[in-house]
């Protein structure tokens, strides 16, 4: 592993230079990687591995023929590289368990009997193992239990792979039954196209992931945007002005500068008025939201969030309720204004 200084703290990471694709192929040459689930991470990871020369099959839970459509379009052939969850698990030597967290809890009794001595059970989220008392997912002691968790959606994992850049991922070994768990883990991380790999544990991965999703990455971002938009509208600003000042400038300009050069560079390259105000109000926002993040982390660590997720996502009417919540967001004035703003971007102009 390479030692890298992250903000004054030295960490060990694995790069493609130390663990090249050729080495990953050698480690995995006798393996059959069975990717269970073709929803979010499954398509990206399976396609990336296939294109990197790894022997991959896909397992999918199907109740009608339509569920095979996406896999068929991606070149998976029923009976050759596309199977039921159970048959894929039986055929694989590395079982990538990439169905949703709630689906893992529901399908585990059907998958567990197909695990063979020396297999590896792979996750991209620590959820089911870290909260095994709620999920019921307790692997047998004769399999490796490993994790590679890309720090992005399946869409990003695939897009970055195709662009040649990859996406960073964390990795962990929870159980080493074969003595090969670590090399298998790193090989899989490289094979799915990770930019670099950094170590974690199943527990730390899920604690940080659930906090991040509910916090800055999605929950806090949406909530803060809505709050600012509503304030601007309350004081008489038009929907177009409120949306542009809240969302469009962030996503189309400022966040790209942060991505490329860091927050300090972005601050240094905006107006002096913006600099001064942002530097002052940054502290106010941090103090205001710190208690919320503390409460959020405690809710994650206690298992409360897991309980909510498993109960909600296992309910028979989950999809109906989810569609209603997303429709409420989509049909709010703010996001209807957003749709109009996006339609006016130059790339969407009619030629």
- Just list the catalytic residues: 125
- Strand, coil or helix: what is 269? coil
Q: Which 8-state DSSP code applies to residue 253?
A: I
Burial of 345 (0-12, 13-18, 19+ CB in 10 A): exposed
Residue bearing tokens 């304030």: 231
Which of 190, 184, 170, 179 is CA-nearest to residue 122?
184
81 CB-contact burial (10 Å; exposed 0-12 / middle 13-18 / buried 19+): middle
Q: What are phi and psi of 172, to 5 degrees?
A: -155, 150
User: What's the rounded Cα separation, in Å, for the pair 171 and 312?
Assistant: 28
User: Which stretches within 244-271 are classed as H helix?
Assistant: 249, 255-261, 263-268
Token pair listed for 349 = 């102009």
Among residues 90, 24, 76, the alpha carbon closest in space to that of 47 is found at: 76
The helices-and-strands tally (H runs, E runs) of the chain is 19, 10
Q: Which two tokens stand for residue 48?
A: 């990336």
Under a CB-based contact definition with an 8 Å cutoff, are residues 195 and 181 in contact? Answer: no
Tell me how far CA of residue 2 lies from CA of 12, 165, 190, 280, 333, in angstroms: 5, 19, 15, 38, 49
The closest of 25, 21, 17, 22 to 1, measured between CA atoms, is 17
């Amino acid at each position: 592993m390479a030692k890298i200084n992250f903000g004054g703290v030295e960490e060990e990471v694995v790069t493609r230079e130390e663990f090249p694709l050729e080495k990953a192929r050698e480690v995995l040459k006798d393996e059959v990687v069975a990717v269970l689930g073709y929803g979010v991470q499954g398509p990206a990871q399976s396609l990336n591995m296939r294109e990197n020369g790894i022997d991959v099959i896909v397992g999918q839970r199907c109740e009608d023929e339509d569920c095979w459509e996406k896999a068929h379009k991606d070149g998976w052939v029923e009976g050759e590289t596309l199977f039921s969850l159970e048959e894929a698990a039986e055929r694989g030597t590395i079982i990538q368990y990439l169905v949703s967290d709630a689906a893992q809890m529901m399908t585990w009794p059907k998958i567990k009997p197909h695990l063979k001595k020396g297999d590896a059970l792979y996750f991209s989220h620590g959820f089911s193992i870290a909260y095994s008392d709620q999920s019921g997912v307790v692997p047998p002691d004769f399999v490796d239990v490993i994790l590679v968790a890309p720090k992005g959606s399946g869409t990003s994992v695939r897009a970055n792979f195709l662009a040649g850049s990859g996406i960073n991922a964390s990795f962990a070994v929870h159980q080493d039954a074969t003595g090969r768990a670590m090399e298998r883990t790193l090989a899989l991380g490289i094979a799915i196209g990770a930019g670099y790999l950094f170590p974690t544990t199943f527990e730390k991965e899920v604690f940080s992931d659930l906090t991040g999703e509910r916090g800055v990455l999605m929950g806090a971002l949406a909530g803060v945007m809505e709050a600012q938009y509503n304030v601007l509208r309350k004081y008489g600003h038009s929907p177009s002005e409120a949306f542009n000042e809240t969302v469009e400038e962030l996503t189309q300009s400022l966040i790209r500068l942060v991505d490329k050069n860091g927050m300090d560079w972005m601050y240094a390259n905006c107006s002096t008025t913006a600099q001064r105000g942002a530097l002052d109000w940054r502290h106010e926002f941090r103090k205001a939201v710190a208690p919320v993040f503390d409460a959020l982390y405690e809710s994650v660590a206690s298992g409360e969030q897991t309980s909510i997720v498993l109960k909600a996502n296992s309910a028979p009417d989950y999809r109906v309720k989810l569609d209603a919540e997303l429709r409420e967001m989509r049909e709010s004035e703010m996001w209807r204004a957003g749709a109009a703003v996006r339609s006016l971007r130059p790339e969407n102009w009619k030629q």
